[in-house]
Amino acid sequence: MVDETHDAQRKCWVAGADGHLEFPIQNLPLGIFSTPGDAPRGGIAIGERVLDISAARAAGLFDGEARVAAELAAGPTLNQLLAAGPAARNALRRRVSQILSDPAYAPLAPRMLHGAESCQMHLPLDVHNFSDFFAGIHHATTGGMINRPDNPLMPNYKYVPVAYHSRASSVRASGTAVRRPNGQRKPPDQAAPDFGPSRALDYEMELGVWIGEGNDLGMPIPIGSAGRHIAGLCLLNDWSARDIQSWESAPLGPFLAKSLMTSVSPWIVTAEALEPFRIAQPPRPAGDPAPLPHLLDDHDQAQGGFAIEFHVSLLTPAMREASEAPHRLSVSHASMLYWTVAQMIAHHTSNGCNLLPGDLLGSGTVSGTQPGSEGCLLEMTRGGRNPITLPNGEMRTYLQDGDEVIFSARCEAPGAVPIGFGECRGVVMPALRL
Ligand code: CA
């Protein structure tokens, strides 16, 4: 529900917050931060500052449900706060919005605000499970074309929100460098595989979903209430070693090509902040089957999508040395997802599988149909066949050592103050020499 926290007229006394491209007062994303010498704890981004939730609580600013929520955000992860569900998040959000919009609280700024540049951001949750979906239909189609040009999508694609269980232990917050993996590679012209550094390290631009309240084992989440289990969203880079992937994936799917590391943006943009940016799920093309009844809900079809635009940029070592800005490689949109997040949750639990607070879902690579909307280099370079040329003349098929991949995103809707996600970035380190 849209409320006073979304009011476009609401102003904030924190310098630079009004008109901030990512974190105006209408956003208030949750994260875990630390300052030098202090333990990681819950914070809220506001402009170029971070609100220290524990410090605001110590100053006596919270009562009732908001105080309970603030206590749940005091530790090194936000799992407990997310487990408490939407009411707890919303109580905290409404009170923090009130505090940051009322200049009477401005004198408390030195006690409860930190400059974002002095804060280190951490993974916001202890991630127990990470499931990666494949809901970007144009990514699935382009990838499928490589082996099945006439019939790129598998027969289950339009019935099942396809996913695999990925690795939770290697999820890291933005800014963590990714090590180029060693693995088995078998180029088509080689009779047998060899072992060595991946020659085809790629990124995948995905929407990340943080699960709030979980479900008990054996108790599916119905499609009609699945949306309530979305605590918030982030940006997710599913680093992928394409050469390792193409050799290892038959018949059980991706394994070491993906588990090397996954990066997420550190701020949880809450379901509440995203309310003004909910949109209808685009109608399925004529001839596509309707979702089966357990995945179909009128409200979800009318409101289950998100107006989020994704941006991918690349900064090479040469560009960094020349003090050049990152080069934007692509722009895509969450409306390119064939399944809603609620459908992913309903499907995931339809067999009774239990989700836990802080579980992470990836949407699958979000790509459009036009050049410049591809969510990974595999698509952009047609499997490495068509290198891209950067403005400084450098060429890329896949990532080289020292390259930095930067994701950002923006939500816009009529009458709403636009909000962003912050960045999800990671630089490629050379492989270990074995
Ligand atoms: Ca993926």
Domains of the chain as residue ranges with CATH: 4-122 (2.30.30.230), 130-429 (3.90.850.10)
Residue reference for tokens 């790629």: 202
DSSP string, 135-184: -BHHHHHHHHHHH-TTS-S-TTTTTS--EEEE-STTEEETT--EEPPEEE
Say which DSSP state 360 is in: E
CA atoms within 13 A on the CB side of 319: 20
* Distance (Å) from CA 190 to ligand 1 centroid: 27
Q: What is the pLDDT of residues 366-394, one digit of tens each?
A: 999 999 999 999 999 999 999 999 999 99
* Distance (Å) from CA 141 to ligand 1 centroid: 14
Residues whose CB falls within 8 Å of the CB of residue 35, separated by 6 or more in sequence, listed in order: 114, 118, 119, 120
Q: Are 222 and 364 in contact (CB under 8 A)?
A: no
What does residue 269 show for φ and ψ, rounded to 5 degrees?
A: -80, 110
pLDDT at 393: 98
Q: Are 405 and 426 in contact (CB under 8 A)?
A: yes
As a whole number, the mean pLDDT across the chain is 97
* Distance (Å) from CA 246 to ligand 1 centroid: 14
Residue 138 has pLDDT above 90, yes or no: yes
Report which residue type is found at 10. Answer: R
CA dihedral sign of residues 327, 329, 334, 335: positive
* Distance (Å) from CA 105 to ligand 1 centroid: 44
Q: Identify the band that residue 151 occupies on the pLDDT scale cut at 50, 70 and 90.
A: confident
Q: What stretch of H or E contains 233?
A: strand 230-237
**Predicted model pTM:** 0.97
Q: Which residues are catalytic?
A: 139
* Distance (Å) from CA 365 to ligand 1 centroid: 6
Q: What stretch of H or E contains 265?
A: none
Q: Are 29 and 426 in contact (CB under 8 A)?
A: no
Residue 147 has pLDDT above 80, yes or no: no
Residue 149 has pLDDT above 90, yes or no: no
* Distance (Å) from CA 262 to ligand 1 centroid: 9
